[in-house]
Amino acid sequence: MFEIVAFCLFSVLTITMFSITVLTNNALYALSSLAAGMIFISAFFFLLNADFLGAVQIVVYTGAVMSLYAFGMMFFDSLSEVKEKVKNPRLVFLLSGMVALIVVVIFISPVLGENIEANIPVNPSYGNTVDVGLVLFTKYLVPFEVAAIMLLIAMIGGIVLAGKKMEVSYSDMTEDKIDAYIKEQEELEASKKDVK
């Protein structure tokens, strides 16, 4: 009974967080809810007694989202809302979710009536951590290293791009000056639209 209640609770929380990620116009809200959704996903692993995968989910994915959070803070004007050209984003989100649900049902329907068992049972003496490490660093060593190099390149690129000087630093301005600067930018964008 506890597992069912916990599953329902974490399902609602996860779907809510990812819905906020997709539907909000504020970059900080989107990144914060993305990190929260990743943490809630780890709860499913803990419910399935896969403690190692749950911890990896928190450390790796949430850590990656936090680095994305830092990049978002550096590259975007987090005080203003994103202006999207999609006329009805909720409809797009709903249709995308329906398509994803249909794809999942198509792939999972052949195994709905069968008893699913693991090919390699968990070793009671050391769990599945050693098995995951052996497979990861033998059979999948090259993809693992390629992914690490790609993340390193992305981090270096982010540092290089962040090193470029911005026109205005929000940290050096008072709140009144920030409001005045935002209004000035909005008036500039409005005048550009009027010219077009």
Distance of alpha carbon 86 from the chain centroid:
21
Cα distances (Å, whole numbers) of residue 180 to 131, 136, 184? 59, 54, 6
Residue 82 has pLDDT above 60, yes or no: no
- What's the pLDDT score for residue 138? 85
Map residue 22 onto helix, strand or coil: helix
Alpha-carbon gap, residue 103 to 108, rounded angstroms: 9
Provide the pLDDT confidence category of residue 97 given band limits of 50, 70 and 90.
Answer: confident
Residue 15 has pLDDT above 70, yes or no: yes
Residue 187 has pLDDT above 80, yes or no: yes
CATH number of 1-78: 1.20.120.1200
- What's the pLDDT score for residue 116? 56
**Mean per-residue pLDDT, 29-50:** 85
- pLDDT tens-digit profile of 157-186? 767 766 555 555 555 666 777 777 778 878
- What's the pLDDT score for residue 38? 86
